[in-house]
Structure 1
Amino acid sequence: MPPITILIDADACPVKDEIYRVAERYRAEVRVVSNAPFRIPDSPRVKRVVVSDSFDAADDWIAEAADARSVVVTGDILLAERCLKAGARVLKHNGEEFTPASIGGAIATRAILADLRAGMDGIGGGPAPFGKADRSRFLQALDRVMVGMRHRAS
């Protein structure tokens, strides 16, 4: 059975260090996909994938690599949808899991919020700051997904 691979949409990922620790514990492969190089741990399981800076190049690489043995970490809803269709498990940075049942609602909400932002003429706050509770939820969710995938493989 091939190892589980964690694919990180790395350009805006605040939980890379947590992913490296969990991946080591489960002996998972990690691909850090970005438009610019990031420092990665010195580990044969962790590899940097630097793609071109063209629009969606990182998303395209991740979507093509995703399969039923992958965990994708991204906040990008449209990328999440593509990866779910490939059979991957998908987690947001705050630990929320995208599922086939939830992705439609997430896409609809994204469209509604985009329309609202367009009508606000630059007024608004943006997402809440990423905190310790988000990091903790992410670690719990990643651990739960890794255990589930390990059991499904046996």
Structure 2
Amino acid sequence: MTGPIAIYVDADACPVKDETYRVAARYGLHVYVVANSFLNVPREPWIERVVVGDAMDAADDWIAERAGPGSVVVTADVPLASRCVKAGATVIGPNGKPFSESAIGMALATRNLMQDLREAGTITGGPRPFSARDRSAFLGALDRAVNRIRRGTA
């Protein structure tokens, strides 16, 4: 890995921004909080708010253009996760589940199937509520990811 580790947060609906800041502070990492509209972020020199236009996928495009080896992307957006995994980034969902090269195809297929079912009028119920267990799993996953990158084993 060359250069410092960067964390890119797909922030519009991200429930783990505070946890991301906590891990980044521990390791001295730079965090980019990317959103389509203004979000409050802590006033720290290592946290950068990035407000992109309101065009479709503008935040995703901004992140995908910059993510690569040595960076971590925090997102629940499966197409964005796919783009970033293909670029060599470490990608983690807010629930702590990593997106990997071997699993991204199935995640995309499942997402597309559920979208097709919703468009056909099938009630799919949606995701389960975000829990304290999810938050804890995310903290552990982000910490492990940063350490793997630092050791050069990511």
- TM-score, length of structure 1 as denominator length: 0.94
Q: CA contact under 8 A between 1:6 and 1:72: conserved in structure 2?
A: yes
| Identity among equivalent pairs (%) | 55
Matches within 5 A, 1:136-151: 136-151=136-151
What's 2:11 paired with? 10
| Matched position secondary structure for 1:68 | coil
Q: How big is the shift at 1:3? A: 1.3
What's 2:34 paired with? 33
Structure 1 unmatched runs, 5+: none
What's 1:100 paired with? 101
- CA-based RMSD of the aligned residues comes to 1.2
| Matched position secondary structure for 2:73 | strand
What's 2:62 paired with? 61
Q: CA contact under 8 A between 1:3 and 1:27: conserved in structure 2?
A: no
What's 1:152 paired with? 152
Distance in 1, matches of 2:134 and 2:95, equals 5
| Matched position secondary structure for 2:69 | coil
Q: CA contact under 8 A between 1:5 and 1:69: conserved in structure 2?
A: yes
| Dislocated runs of 4+, deviation >2 Å | 118-121
Structure 2 unmatched runs, 5+: none
Distance in 1, matches of 2:91 and 2:149, equals 12
Q: How big is the shift at 1:124? A: 4.0
One-letter code aligned to 1:151: R
Deviations 1:96-148 (A, max 9, x none): 00000000010111111112222335x34211110100000000100110111
| Matched position secondary structure for 2:43 | coil
One-letter code aligned to 1:133: R
How many correspondences in the alignment? 152
Q: How big is the shift at 1:10? A: 0.2
- TM-score, length of structure 2 as denominator length: 0.94
| Matched position secondary structure for 1:145 | helix
| Matched position secondary structure for 1:12 | coil
Distance in 1, matches of 2:138 and 2:97, equals 7
